[in-house]
Structure 1
Amino acid sequence: MSGSDRGDRTADLGGFGILAAIAICCLIVGLLGYLQGQQAERDKQTSKTYSEAAQKDAQRACVGMEPGAAFECIYEKVESSNEQANTDKDLTAQFRAADSALFSAVFTFLTLAISGLGVWYVKRTLDATLKAVEDTSKATDAMLLANRIAQEASEGERRPMIKIGYIALSRMDGDAPNVTVDIVNVGRSVATIVDSHVQTHVAYLLPMIRPYQNIGIEKWKEIFSPGLEIGAGNAASKTFALPPIKDDILAINDGFTKLYIMGWVRYLDHGIPRRTMFCRAYDPEEGRFFPTNDPDYEVQN
């Protein structure tokens, strides 16, 4: 759900609350005015009614009397009418008190309703605000993640990466054949060689000693000098003689055993150490070396 939809609903809710409050206030004011007008008109009509009734009653009962008796009679009728009017006023006052209590209860209920509406509106506003803050936080986290991924991708594109170009065997008929190891920087920045070693292994199966374990280091030959810098897209190669394998050449050519050349190249990637390990097996029919594709021996990190 988009933020604009929430904003529109919040604005609509606020407008509804304001209109409802105005309508309720107008209703209360109108009701008060109506009740007051009704009561005033009722009091006026009641006073007039009792006055007329007292006058008619005095005319019927007091006509033909002596002046003193007539005055006394009229006075009694007026007093009786006043007492009746006061009694009715007391009853009316009681009714008005009851109406006021009822009105107060209704007014209190409406006040509570308005307060509840206000609280509900405030809660909805806070919920919308918290949701907006949460969405903003998620958007910020997503942006930071995207930036980090982009940075890592950019660094990955700029970093140097050493791969084995080829391993070539010059001949396979002497005591110590010559082997050439070629490496290529396929990255986009300079790779600085830390160390590089190579070893031959004659056996049908690969040994348990991996190139990265540095076991039996005395059997390894250094390939490239430490500190050698290889620029992006550039290559370096080194030719060296293998240890004597004259006694194994026949078995290698007949397929009874295998000749492996394995090793590693360590280099710096802007101060970060990286390593490329390799292991190639000699194919006597092809007369060349091929990758073993063994993850324990062919690794780049």
Structure 2
Amino acid sequence: MQRTRRIAILICLLLLPSVALRLFTAVYPFFNTIWLSFHDWNPAFPPQQFVGLKNFQALTRDIAVTGSISFTVLFVTISTLLEIVLGMAIALILHRAFFGRGVVRAINLIPWAIPMVVAAIGFRWMYDTQYGVINDLLYRTIEVKVPWLVDFWGARAAVIATNVWKSTPFVGLVLLAALQGVPQDLYEAGRVDGTNRVSAFFYITLPLIMPQIVTIGLFMVVWQLAAFDLVFAMTGGGPGFATQVLAYRIYQVAFTALNFGYASAISMVLFIVVGIASIIGLLLFRKVEVSL
């Protein structure tokens, strides 16, 4: 009994640094953000003042915040759908046997390995109306120039396209690993029954890798809800509030206006959005597991 107690104490002592680090870096900031969301606090003009739900009421009248919410949902939804579809196409191609497949798989990961800020700056130059490569190609082929980063929907399309280009290789890699786990015996049995490649994909491959698709989809949704660096380096949220996401709006309010209370309220909205997306994803994953 005494030895068991000593072992338990030793385990607690060994876990204490990790628990303390997690409390300091995750739990405390979370509850402190909740506390600040009910206060008006500008560190340049102390002290804190309790304002109740005033910050949350101001959110409903803030065009920048409502616009950020709408574009965040649009950005995450379209990006995730395109990443899954294109990632599946890449995975199917790389799953086939051909000469130089290992080299092609390595090249496929290059966009994902490039830092997001580097990719954003590069695409900002490529989308330039006057000397950008994309507009130059459009002009050479159909004699049209699109003001990508100064047009409302053009800037949105450019940001989403850049994000998809950057993240799709990672999704393709995950789905490729899922494809490699599908037993080949099922395909052989399907060929005996007269199934072609299309029917084999929809009736064999897709149902078996659906849990992985839902998992990577949920991961990308949660990850991209907190997107910041792409918008910061590529458009700065412009033109106007066209490409402003919630994370970037929080940065502007907190570190430009120094309104920490209002920024905390926006952070709680982002937390609620992430929570809703996570719950939906977990329900979908449980449904897929049950159906399989």
Q: Normalization by structure 1: what TM-score?
A: 0.18
Higher relative contact order (CA 8 A, sep 6+): 2
Higher-strand-fraction structure: 1
Give the TM-score normalised by structure 2: 0.18
